[in-house]
């Protein structure tokens, strides 16, 4: 074989290999990034599904009045102004600002809640008898309830809400679940809720 023919064959072989590698590059790049794309697509819905499951479980505890896994809700509370006094609530009862009641967006009417101010550390037990609030706050308290936890002057307060069992029901469990918790982690984080008679009020 002449030297010229050998060079031509070598050049043709290298060109063929280069074309094959370049043609496969987009596929390789796509495969390399695919796991990251799948991870991002799965992570957010999974965290959201855990929160939804805990919220649904909390609703079921209040609805059925039985021992189950509940959820402690944290957020901003406000209180009813004087102009609501004497108006009819969602429960059909007349709103009394001097009674220990509250409005909640979703919990069943009649639910008992322990409301603890994260600003003052003081607590009060209220009965849900109305709907609201709807302005990124989690509960509206009567004036009497707001006075108990020391938030009348400020108008709002950071609070923690815990559903309480009926008087003839055993205590429920409360799961303090972070956004990224799996169901197993949420259950592992559950702690017994003390009976209402043992709750310290200030």
Domain coverage including residue 99: 51-198
Q: Residue 31 falls within a domain, yes or no?
A: no
Q: Are 78 and 155 in contact (CB under 8 A)?
A: yes
Q: What is the pLDDT of residue 41?
A: 40
Q: What is the pLDDT of residue 54?
A: 58
Q: What is the pLDDT of residue 48?
A: 53
Share of the chain above pLDDT 90, in %: 37
Rg of the chain over all Cα atoms, to the nearest angstrom: 30
Tell which wins on pLDDT, 121 or 177. 121
Q: Which of 78-87, 117-126, 145-154 has the lowest mean pLDDT?
A: 78-87
Tell which wins on pLDDT, 2 or 28. 2
Q: Residue 3 falls within a domain, yes or no?
A: no
Confirm whether pTM is higher than 0.85. Answer: no
| pLDDT at residue 177 is higher than 90 | no
Q: Residue 7 falls within a domain, yes or no?
A: no
Q: Residue 21 falls within a domain, yes or no?
A: no
Nearest to 127 by CA among 97, 151, 154, 103: 103
Q: What's the CATH code of the domain at 56?
A: 2.40.40.10
Q: Are 138 and 163 in contact (CB under 8 A)?
A: no
Kindly state the average pLDDT of the residues 146-161. Answer: 96
Q: Residue 154 falls within a domain, yes or no?
A: yes
Q: What is the pLDDT of residue 52?
A: 60
Q: Residue 13 falls within a domain, yes or no?
A: no
Q: Residue 11 falls within a domain, yes or no?
A: no
Q: Residue 83 falls within a domain, yes or no?
A: yes
Tell which wins on pLDDT, 90 or 170. 90
| Total tally of structural domains belonging to the chain | 1
Tell which wins on pLDDT, 102 or 5. 102
């Amino acid at each position: 074989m002449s030297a010229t023919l050998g060079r031509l064959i070598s050049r043709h072989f290298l060109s063929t290999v280069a074309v094959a590698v370049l043609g496969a590059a987009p596929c390789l790049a796509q495969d390399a990034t695919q796991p990251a794309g799948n991870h991002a697509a799965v992570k957010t819905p999974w965290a959201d599904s855990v929160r939804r499951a805990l919220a649904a479980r909390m609703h079921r505890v209040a609805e059925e009045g039985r021992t189950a896994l509940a959820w402690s809700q944290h957020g901003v509370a406000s209180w009813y102004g004087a102009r609501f006094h004497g108006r009819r609530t969602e429960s059909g009862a007349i709103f009394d600002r001097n009674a220990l009641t509250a409005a909640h967006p979703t919990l069943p009417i009649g639910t008992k809640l322990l409301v603890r101010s994260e600003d003052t550390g003081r607590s009060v037990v209220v009965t849900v008898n109305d709907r609201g609030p709807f302005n990124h706050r989690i509960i509206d308290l009567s004036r009497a309830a707001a006075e108990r936890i020391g938030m009348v002057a400020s108008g709002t307060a950071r609070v923690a809400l815990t559903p309480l069992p009926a008087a003839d029901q055993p205590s429920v469990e409360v799961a303090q679940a972070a956004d990224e918790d799996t169901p197993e982690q949420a259950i592992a984080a559950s702690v017994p809720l003390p009976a209402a008679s043992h709750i310290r009020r200030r």
